[in-house]
Amino acid sequence: SSRIRTRDLLAAKERGEKWPMLTSYDQYTAAIFDRIGIPVLLVGDSAANNVYGYETTVSVTPEELLPLVAAVARSTSRTLVVADLPFGSYEAGPTQALETAVRFMKAGAHAVKLEGGVRMAEQIKALTGAGIPVMAHVGFTPQSEHLIGGYRVAGRADQAAAVVADAHAVAEAGAFSVVLEMVMSDVAAQITKELSIPTIGIGAGPHTDGQVLVWQDMAGMREGSGPRFVKKYADVAGVIAAAATEFADEVRGGVFPAEEHSFR
């Protein structure tokens, strides 16, 4: 069957259906998530932390993300693939944003995502004007971590109005959906009710249209505990550690390879 389109997500909202989104950065996870029916995959700039081992997303470049986008797009047939525009690749203005977004679309993305609300309205208009669907991202925006002063919940009493204004600004500029990160649940509920485009929550409570998690957090690929909004559905790190330990033991003990793994 054919690809999920942005209009399918709008239709889901109209029917009151919630939907899941995950990050993916490689062939195998992309193929699994596509097969089990995750409608939207994000090749997040969180690849900075989850693929490249950087401390923050500030470090990652388009050159590092583009091949991951291409791999995920090649490995899926149903899911809508969204590419994050990394820090420094779109903030200067609509021209820079369009140049970068075109590179990601040519790599195989079906939409792009960028961080910022009111301050990104011109970029969102330029991209949608050029035929590129935009997923916005407001509330806590990790690329601005140093300005914000760390990971902080957005939309507490003093900031609620600003987050609501940001969400309305991106919808008016033409975004097809908006990620709400670490936004107080009641504020996320209000935004979800007021906007006609889908909201996708991460640490934003149960009332958003979609929910997104980083796949390594969701599947327990990362060792140690993550932020409070993460739920760990498996212990993939433990499974891999046990497999590698057994392999190592069998090599050291002369058990692997056995007759059936050998040619003679």
Active site residues: 181
Give the C-alpha separation, 175 to 197, whole Å.
8
Cα separations (Å) of 226 from 59, 185, 222, 261?
Answer: 21, 19, 8, 40
Site for ligand KIV in 174-193 (CB under 6 A): 179
Q: Give strand ranges (E) for the chain.
A: 19-23, 40-43, 80-84, 111-115, 134-139, 177-181, 199-202, 210-213
Nearer to ligand KIV, 84 or 209 (CB): 84
Of residues 34, 45, 166, 217, which one binds Na ion by CB under 5 A? Answer: 45
- Quick check: 211 binds ligand KIV (CB under 6 A)? no
Task: Please name the residues in contact with 36: beta carbons below 8 A apart, sequence gap of 6 or more.
Answer: none
- Quick check: 212 binds ligand KIV (CB under 6 A)? yes
Of residues 39, 44, 62, 133, which one binds Na ion by CB under 5 A? Answer: 44
155: nearest Cα among 144, 147, 166: 166
**Residue 194 labeled ligand binder:** no
Give the C-alpha separation, 50 to 45, whole Å.
9
Of residues 30, 120, 189, 214, which one binds ligand KIV by CB under 6 A? Answer: 214
Residue whose token pair is 């939907």: 19
Question: Smallest distance from the beta carbon of 98 to ligand KIV, in angstroms?
Answer: 21
Closest residue to ligand KIV, judged by C-beta, is 44
- Quick check: 84 binds Na ion (CB under 5 A)? yes
Give the C-alpha separation, 107 to 104, whole Å.
5
Type and span of the H or E element at 153 = none
- Quick check: 46 binds ligand KIV (CB under 6 A)? yes
- Quick check: 210 binds ligand KIV (CB under 6 A)? no
Interface region with Na ion, contact rule CB under 5 A, candidates 24-32, 44-52, 97-105, 154-162:
44-52
Give the C-alpha separation, 50 to 28, whole Å.
15
Interface region with Na ion, contact rule CB under 5 A, candidates 14-22, 72-80, 83-91, 201-209:
83-91
User: Are 197 and 13 in contact, with CB atoms under 8 Å apart?
Assistant: yes
Q: How many residues bind ligand KIV (CB under 6 A)?
A: 11
Among ligand KIV, Na ion, none, residue 34 binds (CB under 5-8 Å by kind): none
- Quick check: 84 binds ligand KIV (CB under 6 A)? yes
* SS3 state at 180: strand
Interface region with Na ion, contact rule CB under 5 A, candidates 21-29, 79-87, 203-211, 230-238:
79-87
Give the C-alpha separation, 27 to 72, whole Å.
6
**Residue 113 labeled ligand binder:** yes
Footprint of ligand KIV on this chain (CB under 6 A)?
23, 42, 44-46, 84, 137, 179, 202, 212, 214
